[in-house]
Amino acid sequence: MRIFIDADACPVVRAAEDIARRHGVPVTLLCDTSHILSSDYSAVRTVGEGADAADIALINLCGKGDVVITQDYGVAALALGKGARAIHQSGRRFTDENIDGLLMERHLAQKARRGGRHRLKGPARRTGEDDRRFAESFEQLILEGLNDSADRA
């Protein structure tokens, strides 16, 4: 199992690294050239600048049994399709059961914005509760992945 983080503006990178380090799981941070990242634990992969450059690189790298941290529903859907687990920075797990509905909500919101009929507020300010919820959900995901790996061995 490996962890891949869509790290462009991701607020949970350090928390994810701390949890991964405790469990000895390698982490790769992916970002485009408009971001500068460094880490004393994770491998950092900087990819060419472009709208989806980091997303495409992440999907090309991840595979069955890996964990992907992203806020992008499209990236999550592609990761699930490759047999990876996916989690949002809020701690919400993406699953085969919920991804279609989330993609539809995103599509409808984009359609409403393009039509000029709807103005959406940005996300609420991140809180300590958000961080706690992510850490709990992410650690559970890691433990499930490690148990699955042990069962296959």
Task: Render pLDDT for 74-116 as a digit per residue (tens, 0 to 9).
Answer: 899 999 999 999 999 999 999 988 776 667 776 566 666 676 6
Distant-in-sequence, close-in-space partners of 111: CB < 8 Å, separation ≥ 6: none
Q: What is the pTM of this model?
A: 0.85
CA-CA distances (angstroms) from residue 79 to 14, 95, 123, 144?
22, 10, 24, 17
8-62 residue pLDDT tens: 888 999 999 999 999 999 999 998 887 788 899 999 999 987 768 889 999 999 9
3-152 carries CATH number 3.40.50:
yes
